[in-house]
Amino acid sequence: MSADKNTALIILAAGRGTRMNSELPKVLHPLGGTPLVVHAMDSAALAEPTRTIIVAGHGADAVTKAVQEYDETTEVVLQEEQLGTGHAVMQAREALAGFDGNVLVLFGDTPFISKTTIEALLEARTHNDVVLLGMDCVDPKRYGRLITDGDSLERVVEYKDAAPFERRITLCNGGIVAADAKLLFELLDAVSNDNASGEYYLPDVVQLARQRGLNAGFVTCEESETQGINTRADLAIAEKLFQDMKRAEVMDNGVTLTAPETVFFCYDTYIGGDTLIEPNVIFGPGVTVENDAHIRAFSHLEGCHVSRGAQVGPYARLRPGAELAEFTRIGNFVEVKNAQILEGAKVNHLSYIGDAEIGKGTNIGAGTITCNYDGVMKHKTTIGEGAFIGSNTMLVAPVTIGDEAMTASGSVITSDVEAGALAVARARQDVKPGLARRLMDKLKATKAKLDGKV
């Protein structure tokens, strides 16, 4: 009964999720910007599974794509008919033929199982043939009830099949099962659908194991860990819970949130210590922020890397591929996409920097745009170290600006500028004395005539 062997993970993810009122498979709805099923896969990472089997049904192709993006070795099997959790696990039997090790069964719509709970389940497997996760509920609702004898689990009774005295039990079924692979499938062979729902229940393996004289045990967790997602309302509650946990985590790690309830994180957001995050900041997938950074209010970051001491915002947008080196400054209403901003460079106002490399110590003036797209292809702008780009410069890529070069404000730069040079690319100003008054008088006269006043 040792858990010191290979572990296969089976995640049940075949449900349509009818109450979500969505064509998207339930397990692909995002929580913290990441599909629910990926949360379940990550929960089991502590078990170091050597095999991961996803039991899919509705939207199986989309589910396959999502889980293999997370782990390309993940295998997917189909459950054509929804005949209960026991039937779902049986769909993994062929894939695990000949597998010698433990099986851990999780649910793709239950994202909050902690690594501590997984560790407890594996520990309990060292001295039990079958282990089930339980939870003490203040309001047991319609959960299945665990029938125990001391530390031994005797059976699980579904609410529909429970006697009145059994329904008063508050120790409820959390659903997750750990067992030896060969034993689990042998027990499932004997599971019957002779119950109020006509389904094959996975927890029935507990009673079958006890009838064979085997040991069955249980571990408990907080009820919040087992929260499943069945409706949009459930998803909203889960998102709030996720965000609260993530906010607490980053603050515990030394990050200052001046208005925590207004900051929204993604599942994989990493924030280094002594970073300050102001109100109303949103982190999309793939963001890393190093120590001592400052993310100012109303900024949106996604797929980017912010180095130590950098400052972003307010009202800045960092898109995928944005790489900010140490002590850079990205200011208000600046958008950066697929660009490297090197150490000490500044893009402080109202600019778009896309498909570019900005050298150390360079200053980008307000209203600068890297014109990177010709309607078909993207092109790169390269700016050297210590350059000064005048306000309202249009940099028509591909173009290179040399070290310590300058562009005059209002220029449209279409050719490379050598190091140390000043580029002026605008029409010469021509002043026409008195023309403004004459033009305005003419316009007013035309309008008066149209309005019938003359």
Half-sphere CA count of 245, side-chain side, radius 13 A: 16
**Measured between alpha carbons, how far is residue 6 from residues 70, 122, 278, 295, 328 in Å?**
21, 12, 46, 44, 47
| Number of H-type helices and E-type strands within the chain | 9, 35
CB-count burial class (<10 Å; 0-12, 13-18, 19+) for 291:
middle
Distance of alpha carbon 151 from alpha carbon 313, whole angstroms: 56
Residue from 29, 305, 349, 379 carrying the catalytic annotation: 349
Closest CA to 394 of 352, 345, 346: 352
Query: Assign residue 32 a region: left if phi > 0, alpha if psi is -120 to 50, beta otherwise?
Result: left
d(CA 31, CA 75): 23
Q: Among this protein's residues, is 294 annotated catalytic?
A: no
Residue 221 tokens read as 């967790």
> Distances from the Cα of 100 to the Cαs of 6, 120, 190, 391, in angstroms?
7, 21, 21, 68
Q: Which residues are identified as catalytic?
A: 349
